[in-house]
Amino acid sequence: MKAPYRLPFTPLPLAAAARGAVALAVPLLAGVATGQVALAVLAGIGALWGVGQDGDDPYRQRVLRLGCTGGCAALGLLAGELALRSARPGAVTCCLVAAALVAGAVSLRGRLASVSGLHLLLGVTVGGGIPVPGPWWQAPPALLSGVALVALLSATPWLWRRHAIERAAVRAVYRAASGALAAAGGPDAEAARRRLTAALDHAHRVLDRHLTGRRRPGKEPDALRTAFHTAVRLGEVTSALVWEGRELPRCVSRVPLLMAARLLPEPGRGPASATAAAGPAGSAHPAGVPCAGSGSPALRALTALYTSCGPDRPRDTTPRLPASPWHGRAAQVRYTVLLAGCVLAAQLCAVLLHGPRGYWLPMTVAFVYKPDFGPVFRRALHRCAGTVAGVAAIGAVTLLTTGTYALIGAVAAFAAVMAVGVRHHYALATTGLTAIVFVLVDLLGDHRELSWARILDTALAAAIVLVAHFALWPHSARGRAAARTRAAVSAAHRYRDLPAGAPAAERYALRRTAYHRLAEARRAVLDARREPGRTAREVAGLLDAEEEAIAAAERLCDAVGARHVGSAPAAYTPGAVRCTAAGAMGG
């Protein structure tokens, strides 16, 4: 059996780590200096959740996501605080269950809705579990200020590098295309082509608002759109060259880099100097493309694309990347009920074990039970491991010092760890979060020894989630993988069935959709393999069949692209590839 596809590793987010450290340290230092420690802790909690939602996507998307995070968290905090202040038996529990029902109802409708629902529930958990002194209206603005600080730190670079993220995403496509051309004819060709697909998907998401809807005038957006549409064409030609299965001269792999230099010159270098370095645009033998008159249609297509690319090239229309719902109404209702049930069970355990301060149990359930964020079992396991590591880490710190400013410095360090973990490993993110929460609780005046209690609480909450999930919804990951595989195969068939005389823009749109669906299906299958099940052997066999279907659909798309470029070999039979894909899906 082939090794499963793995996502590429990303570099360490040093800027995000610095933002996390500053965002947690500033409100705590201000609170200690002014004597408003309780409000500073709430601002720190808001900053903590903001760090968890900070990202490397375009600034507009970051601000929108952080705004939804802060607004929903503040609303939840207000509801939980009012329920706690009412002193009515069961008020907090009813508020938690209601918030869980709302969070579950919206969580499967998209990433932004999922994040909003999660933080609504977290806000209720903190508001109903931590008594806050002072007027009832002070806590939500304090929490919101912490999230706003993260948003400010994250979006400030927009002032001097407005489109740097979009430029980097598009340039990554050209680098991936260069890598695919260099790998053509070798054992890594297929993996390189998948990296090209992933880079195109990422660039499409990053440039979404520039590509669809109302076009915003400006030299930089126009250059980005032109470079992206050229990259889509380059992806088709590159796939055709990879499909040919033969090694290419090294100079051919330089062509995408030369195109990127012409379309998106480095800051400080004018278009004229970039074009001169890349070669004359109208040359019959452009620099680095020794293929004019070659017998390979794909190489001739690469030459034609190179000679025609330029900042004044007409732009195509680009559709939005398709949404990929993997669930029906029944699955959404099931998740909503299960989440509410798990939160209710955790809250009842918290009341029995810890009285009114048992917020850790329902908060852990809220974090763990997110099937749209990845495999539930791994998330629960990493949560437990991260909690143990965080308790040990903060325990080591308190053995060395208990000074307030030293602990705030430790919070800044753990915030940086959390920011790295958010992008790389959930256990690492949990380690930072756990250590930070211990310090925040200590600043509020709760000096109880809670280390073992927190470890046991995390294990109990994870057990509640796992028992409920695998008893009542054991094959959710498998169902998600199957649904996305069916959508991917259908998208590949639509691309194959496109008439020969169809407009090029329609062809590129169908091609982008097909490869986007295929990449999503591969990720869903990878997630499903990470989930244990009662019938693991049977599920593994079904996932093998889905991987075969995805691979066959990818070969079909590659072959169709090669046919359009004119580079399909004589033995090319799209019907045979179609039957392979359909057979793997049982169709």
Instruction: Dump pLDDT digits (tens) for 479-495.
Output: 888 888 888 999 999 99
- Supply the DSSP string of 283-313, one letter for each residue: -SS-TT-TTTT-S-HHHHHHHHHHHH-STTP
Answer whether residue 291 shows pLDDT above 70.
no
Return contacts of 160-167, CB within 8 angstroms, 24+ apart: 162/59, 162/220, 163/220, 163/221, 163/224, 165/56, 165/57, 165/58, 165/59, 165/206, 166/58, 166/203, 166/206, 166/207, 166/210, 166/224, 167/224, 167/264
Residues 201-242 have pLDDT tens digits of: 899 888 887 777 555 666 778 888 889 989 988 988 898 888
Contact 85, 136 (CB under 8 A): yes
CA distance 525 to 86: 47
Answer whether residue 247 shows pLDDT above 90.
no
CA distance 338 to 343: 9
pLDDT at 568: 53
What is residue 428's DSSP assignment? H
Contact 83, 95 (CB under 8 A): yes
Residues 367-376 have pLDDT tens digits of: 999 988 888 9
Amino acid at 387: T
Q: How many CA atoms lie within 13 A of 183 on its CB side?
A: 18
pLDDT at 33: 92
Contact 486, 585 (CB under 8 A): yes
Residues ≥6 apart with Cβ < 8 Å to 411: 24, 25, 28, 44, 435, 436, 439, 440
pLDDT at 309: 75
How much is the pTM?
A: 0.86
CA distance 246 to 184: 6
Residue 255, exposed/middle/buried by CB under 10 A (0-12, 13-18, 19+)? buried
Residues 520-546 have pLDDT tens digits of: 888 888 888 887 764 455 556 677 788
CA distance 104 to 443: 33
What is residue 7's DSSP assignment? P
Q: What percent of the chain has pLDDT over 90?
A: 42
What would you measure as the largest C-alpha separation in the chain, in angstroms?
A: 84
- Supply the DSSP string of 213-272, one letter for each residue: SSPPP-HHHHHHHHHHHHHHHHHHHHHHHHHHT----HHHHTHHHHHHHHHSPPTTS-HH
Distance spanning both ends of the chain, measured CA to CA: 22
Q: Nearest to residue 114, comparing CAs of 415, 329, 335, 428?
A: 335
pLDDT band at 388 (very low <50, low <70, confident <90, very high): very high
CA distance 36 to 38: 6
CA distance 147 to 211: 29
